[in-house]
């Protein structure tokens, strides 16, 4: 099927096969954007793409890519260029987390997460930002986490990786602003994307109540990006937590987060994966 796509902006979304990435795709499609959807599970991307094409009459390209392989990231960028597509909005969202004691979890898990959340995110940003810099226009959203603000027991590597994303994004925001590019970092709190389930986090009734749905998180990220903000923490309870982290001593907020993000049982500390 072919759609009229002249003058329509293109958004490239990583991690679009579920959770926030899928919701970014839905919201940008509803605004009439053409989309490049990237993740490993191509079947899920294909079915999302066909539903968005028929609902919003937008062009959607599916790219089944393992972003933790940097050569694949380069090839993705090359394919997009060869198609003559100009990416106006980059949503750097794909993320992978490992929950558990640092020593108990395997080294491969820890390094795999560093590879995706840090190295790949940096490579994707570098390649697509170069094109934006040449045109002196573009928007980049980096998905970090509320945990970027705090060191979290049993989430040591994940929280540190997200701290990298936040600091990286904040620095790029200043660096690229003068060249006409907006860089915004989104820092969601625990949200209803299957994250807690995969991470085997004990979700108390209170925590469940505070968990945000993907729709308002994504809406808040897009709004902040369009407003040219440096970063955003979506939702009042998360904003309150960010304020609490800023205003309280480390021993206190670290203890609170260790409790809130506790695994279901001690024996589960070894294997929980989250994105």
Ligand X SMILES: NC(=O)c1ccc[n+]([C@@H]2O[C@H](COP(=O)([O-])OP(=O)(O)OC[C@H]3O[C@@H](n4cnc5c(N)ncnc54)[C@H](OP(=O)(O)O)[C@@H]3O)[C@@H](O)[C@H]2O)c1
Residues near ligand X (CB under 6 A) are 15-21, 39-41, 65-68, 93-97, 116, 143, 145, 188, 190-191, 193-195, 275
Classify strands 97-98 and 138-143 as parallel, antiparallel or unpaired: unpaired
Min. distance of Cβ 141 from ligand X in angstroms? Answer: 11
* CB of 137 or CB of 215, closer to ligand X: 215
Min. distance of Cβ 64 from ligand X in angstroms? Answer: 8
* CB of 179 or CB of 192, closer to ligand X: 192
Residues marked as catalytic: 158
* CB of 34 or CB of 115, closer to ligand X: 115
* CB of 96 or CB of 128, closer to ligand X: 96
- Find the length of the chain: 275
């Amino acid at each position: 099927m072919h759609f009229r796509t002249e003058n329509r902006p293109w958004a490239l979304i990583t991690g679009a096969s579920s959770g926030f990435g899928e919701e970014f795709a839905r919201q940008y499609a509803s605004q009439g954007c053409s989309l490049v959807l990237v993740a490993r599970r191509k079947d899920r991307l294909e079915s999302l793409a066909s539903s968005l094409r028929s609902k919003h009459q937008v062009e959607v390209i599916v790219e089944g890519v393992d972003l933790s392989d940097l050569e694949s990231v380069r090839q993705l960028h090359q394919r997009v260029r060869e198609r003559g597509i100009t990416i106006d909005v980059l949503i750097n969202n794909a993320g992978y987390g490992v929950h558990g004691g640092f020593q108990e979890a395997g080294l491969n898990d820890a390094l795999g997460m560093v590879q995706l959340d840090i190295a790949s995110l940096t490579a994707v940003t570098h390649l697509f930002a170069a094109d934006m810099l040449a045109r002196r226009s573009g928007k980049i959203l980096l998905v970090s986490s509320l945990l970027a603000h705090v060191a979290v027991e049993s989430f040591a590597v994940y929280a540190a990786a997200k701290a990298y994303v936040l600091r990286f994004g904040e620095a790029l925001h200043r660096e690229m602003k003068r060249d006409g590019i907006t860089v915004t970092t989104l820092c969601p709190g625990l949200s209803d994307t299957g994250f807690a389930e995969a991470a085997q986090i004990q979700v108390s009734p209170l925590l469940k109540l505070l968990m945000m749905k993907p729709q308002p998180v994504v809406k808040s990220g897009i709004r902040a990006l369009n407003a040219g903000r440096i970063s955003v923490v979506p939702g009042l309870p998360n904003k309150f937590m960010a304020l609490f982290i800023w205003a309280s001593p480390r021993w206190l907020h670290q203890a609170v987060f260790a409790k809130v993000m506790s695994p279901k049982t001690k024996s589960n500390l070894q294997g929980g994966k989250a994105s």
